[in-house]
Amino acid sequence: MKRFKKAGMLVIFLIPALVGAIGHLIDGQTIPDTLYKVIKMYGFSADTCKNNIFIEIARWAAPLVTISGLALILQRTFARVVDFFRGFSKNAIALYGDATEKEIVLRNINETINVTDGKVMDVNKHIIMFSSDEKAIEFYAENKEKLRGEIFMMLEKSDGFTVELDNVKVFNPYEIIARRFWHKRDLRGLFEKDEMKISIVGSNVLARKMLTDGLLNNIYTLTQKVGYHLWSEDGFFEQAHADFKTMNEDIVTYHSLKAQDAVFGIAESDRIIFTEKVDNELLFEIVKLTKGEIYLFDPKDTFVNIFGYDKIYTFGKLNNILTEENISAKNTYTLAKELNYDFALKYPKKDESVPTSADEAWGRLNTFTKGSNVASADYHKIRLIVMTETKKTKPDEVLCEMEHIRWCRYHYLNHWKYGETEDGKKDEAKKIHPCLKPFGALDPATRLKDKDGIDTLLKLEGIL
């Protein structure tokens, strides 16, 4: 994109020269004289002794191009000067990479400096955003000794909670979109008899994130029957999670069909989520057949509803997604750290000293366990909705069982399985856990851990 832009600017710059050259050649000038006079035009000095239309156009256009170029140079110089002084601020954030989404971050986050020379700035925060995950990781690997303070890296095809990078917080825009979607558009309004059908249509990362985050967040009752239907041509998720267990009456069904070949199946859903661009003809057919809600992924906010159906909504506007709060997930991480710290104090490991701070306890965790705590803190938003609607002020058996279902799903999505071990503890190497079974089959001491976790989060929220 940048190459095309530069090429376009070069063409615009050369047009007056080409037009002027034609005029001077028509005027009978030699080639050397023509070149000399064309160059002079850009310096506000045009020879017009024997004027013609080509020379007249060129002698006005060339100075305008020169003025525009000078203005652009001054603008860029001024921006560099501003960035230079901004670098001295303790709140300065260096932004690296070639991703097109960088422009949004520059607008959304104050004190952000667009680093274009590839050098690492001496600031306390860094955001790495490249057009591919491989480029981002390569940049980090080459510069990790120079990067100090907080580091945030955009990875679009990797799960942020399973990437092992020292001192790096990974953010996935599609993961942010999915989480925001389920929190803002919770399912309570759709529940009638605790049963509904949700169709997610797409063969991309966003479709899979919409499904996984929906499974981790949409737990409202013990009697619900939510049917998730993933309409995808590639079958990737089905192969990766063929043995996934929902731990309740929810179901996940995979369909290896094009959306055009599954109009009726998609249309009978209570909520339809398109994660890719939708053909208008297909959307017209869905609108005519469905009574459910339709959600369209619209990152640039360009959709216009011409379909005469008032239940069409859009989501995923990048201006609302790429904010400092969403990139850093500070509030969620704070809850997750405190949750883990409280657990570490109540259930200390025999082979480890008792941590003296939440940060110390957090630093001892592997990426998977960090992700488990973040997922628990994230689901807490849904739990508060449930508690408000059911007028509960403290955790009971129902809330504890719902948390256990979420915990099991997180493990199953990360390829853990149920299994008994000799010492009754989990086997991280084999990804076996003896607690991956129904809540009622757990012993009282293990069930108490779910209650302790909910208590901790409620205290942090000031509810208990």
- 382-399 pLDDT, tens digit per residue, is 999 899 988 998 999 999
> How many residues belong to the chain?
464
pLDDT at residue 82 tops 70: no
pLDDT at residue 70 tops 80: no
Which residues are CB-neighbours of 11 under 8 A, at least 6 positions away? Answer: none
pLDDT computed for residue 211 by the predictor = 96
- The listed range with the strongest mean pLDDT (183-192, 234-243, 266-275) is 266-275
Can you say whether the dihedral through the CA atoms of 33, 39, 42, 43 is positive or negative?
negative
pLDDT computed for residue 110 by the predictor = 86
Identify residue 8 by its one-letter amino acid code. Answer: G
- Residue 77's pLDDT band, with cuts at 50, 70 and 90, is low
- Bigger pLDDT: 375 vs 33: 375
Over pLDDT 90: what percentage of the chain? Answer: 59
Secondary structure class of 188 (helix, strand, coil): helix
- Residue 196's pLDDT band, with cuts at 50, 70 and 90, is very high
Q: What is the DSSP letter of 427?
A: B
Quote the mean pLDDT of the chain: 87
pLDDT digit string, tens, across residues 346-373: 998 888 899 999 999 999 998 889 999 9
pLDDT computed for residue 11 by the predictor = 76
Least confident of 58-67, 239-248, 373-382, 430-439: 58-67
Mean pLDDT computed over 124-144? 94
Secondary structure class of 403 (helix, strand, coil): helix
Please give the C-alpha separations between residue 350 and each of 79, 337, 347, 365, 433, in angstroms, as whole numbers. 56, 21, 9, 16, 19
Nearest one of 209, 203, 94 to 158, comparing CA atoms: 209
pLDDT computed for residue 162 by the predictor = 64
**Cα(410)–Cα(404) distance, integer angstroms:** 10
pLDDT computed for residue 167 by the predictor = 79
pLDDT computed for residue 239 by the predictor = 87
**Cα(295)–Cα(278) distance, integer angstroms:** 11
Can you say whether the dihedral through the CA atoms of 132, 138, 141, 146 is positive or negative?
negative
pLDDT at residue 1 tops 60: no
- Residue 160's pLDDT band, with cuts at 50, 70 and 90, is low
Q: pTM here?
A: 0.81
**Cα(353)–Cα(126) distance, integer angstroms:** 33
- Bigger pLDDT: 77 vs 197: 197
CB 33 within 8 Å of CB 13: no
pLDDT computed for residue 48 by the predictor = 55
**Cα(318)–Cα(322) distance, integer angstroms:** 6
Mean pLDDT computed over 299-304? 92
pLDDT computed for residue 193 by the predictor = 67
DSSP E strands in 260-392: the ranges are: 271-274, 293-297, 312-315
Residue 134: burial class (beta carbons within 10 Å; 0-12, 13-18, 19+): exposed
